Structure 1
Amino acid sequence: MTASTPADAPIPLVDLRAAHAEVAEEVQEGIDRVLAAGAYIKGPDVAAFEREYAEFAGTRHCVGTANGTDAVELALRALELPPGGEVVLPANTFVATAEAVVRAGLQPVLVDADPDHLLIDPARVAEVLAADGGAVAAAGGDGRPGRITALLPVHLNGQLAPMDPLLDLAAQYGLPVVEDAAQSQGATQHGRPSGSWGRIAATSFYPGKNLGAYGDAGAVTTSHDALADAVRLIGDHGSGRKYVHDRFGFNSRMDTVQAVVLRAKLRRLPAWNAARRAAAARYDAMLSDIDGITLPRTLPGNEHVWHLYAVRIGAGRSRDAVLTALQEAGIGAGIHYPVPVHLQPAFRSLGRGEGSFPVAEQAARELLTLPLFPQITESQQARVAEALAKAVARATA
């Protein structure tokens, strides 16, 4: 904590100003360059960022998009899945994942999370695939197509979904895997980067992400040339040549100012992610003795980048009362996904009511996100831990 910051100053959930302070000069130089050239859309910095992020993600291609939701939709559209086909995704995700499926003309099929890591549960995926009735490619099926056309695992809170069993299932049933990597820039599993596991992947650079723009932006990564070409074409009105539209598309291009910001931040992302891991380890130590909470767990083989650090407030205690107490103490805690996708009014048509996905529903009632960002200090975290211990001790459901 700096000398100019009072010891009792509010602690934000995410401190975007601290991140900006580290890149401000470089970003301003880049913006001046863009303004001087007038290259606001598809400028040189966009192409440079796409090359740099593809290398970072371990893929041949990166295509910038206007936002992360578009990126998921574009990835699905590029695969040319059958209209109305079903896509398997976790119930424990932000609603944008399911929105993108519907926007692509497909149908979401939700499955529950595993109770320890709250990531998509391969056992539940296997159940819906077995019930689907489609041919099993590896078993020499009869070619009769099932309704399920793709798997869409979500890398949540900064760590990857269990990709090995999911890829095994995808191979068994002849399905493409599309990664939702919006919360995992820089995370790895068995050393392999997020965004490089599936046939194609989507990510978001919403300002609060580990790699955040100064507005909306996103990207698709893939090592398949034809898929990258299709994403670029669809996201530019289906046009590879001016006023010639080869297929139906829409407008989802990354603007050059966002690319400038992302290039500056990408150079610092490995160090920032390392700082997040150190902060998460400090929380683990500070919070381990507090009764009534469960700390987040890392799936074996994952290198977590801690987009969010979310604890679970145990049964018998009111998570919302704990949140209120923290906020009154100047702690910027928050709740992510308090209403699961299947219980949102917009997705009532899925026909899945309360009790359909008990793990996701319990997580929605219990999870509480604590402040975590690369510049958070040990003294700030100690304040969070002290306030949380007092709030949990007082809170009863």
Structure 2
Amino acid sequence: MKTCIVTGITTSGTPHLGNYAGAIRPAIQASLHSDAESFFFLADYHALIKCWNPTRLYRSRLEIAATWLAAGLDVDRVVFYRQSDISEILELCWILTCSTAKGLMNRAHAYKALVSQNVSKGLDADDGVSMGLFSYPVLMAADILMFKANKVPVGKDQIQHLEMARDIAQKFNHLYNVNFFVLPEAFVVDNVATLPGLDGRKMSKSYNNTIPLFEGGTKNLRSSIMRIVTDSSKSGDPKNAEDSHLYILFRAFATEEESTLYKSSLNAGMSWGEAKNILYEKIESELLPMRERYNKLISQPDLIENILQAGSQKARCFSKRVIKDIRDIVGLRSLNIDICSSKKQFINNKNSNFDNNENKDPRFLCYRDDKGYFKFRLISSSGKDILKSRGSFSNASNVGSLIKDIKIFLQKIKSEKMNEFEYSPILDSYDLDCDIQELKRVIE
């Protein structure tokens, strides 16, 4: 069974080192595995949230597409496309928006940070907050769920959005009583999860602290690295390598052995100037051949456009089928299709696109309610509820512990052939709603 990988980069600026090390490189490496099915895209709809300069948006799409290709993306192995070429993404985004709780969006880090900033300045809490910014996680969920991604390469700052995508998927599955959406997992490369920028904060266009990937060539790369902020330690003074931005950046491009040596040298008193030169040489050795390919590609926009159009055609072969199935699930189907037979197809048909789980045993699903609290249920292979929590939990780990206990008890029911009068009171003590007939059928 293939593992589906989906990742995209917002086209609102020039590609920087953080984009490459945190998303592009690990995604390309993952796509080379024989069991990988990869979808990589230019997130140009996301760019509209903060980029209202048409020329900048156009140029950024070209630069980021050229960057993916220069970094070694094999378009014969992957599906490489523009988000704005896949109309089904926006349709799915709206359908998911209709079942997503506002409370979930209220907890998004980007929204909360802007509200906090506004309040501290004495402004209206939602000053400058567009609906695009507020509902950004739903569009991201649509990007991921449309292609039934198993893994999504992200930086640590994006993990919350992956968790939200899972919540949104589970809410949809629960609301329509189907096992349709795959629950994606974040794939974070520890050493490069979030790279620091020139000032030590997360490398971001928003902070204007990025280190350019190709723009300005080797000269600009060197000058940027030389401007990285360090403390006032002099040559010969021991440095705290673990807290050094230079060490974090070096580790993202070096082997473990090279990183250990670099760390030891810093701790032993290597000067910041020498450390920056070594960092520059390490990064430049990796970027030089890519920069040459990039410069050639950036002068051939027609070639890049053709590649993106071909990728979009491949993506839409998938997305059109998926959105048709979603339409059927929510009731936006042709009037000559019977609702019962249609839904039965989604739940039971082994060859259906909805069948993403080869294991037909009952399984537990954990999800969030409208207030953000955790609940769980046990569903059968046909999608029917067997057990369902009455109460809710503030901590997911508490849910996990309870599910573990219930699994042990269900095994006991089966192994000891307990009857309904024996196990019903115990299940009730777990504060569960139980479909006894469905439970009997599963146990037998």
Q: Quick check: which has more Rg, 1 or 2?
A: 2
Q: TM-score, normalised by structure 2?
A: 0.22
| More contact order relative to length (CA 8 Å, sep ≥ 6) | 1
Q: TM-score, normalised by structure 1?
A: 0.24
| Greater helix proportion | 2
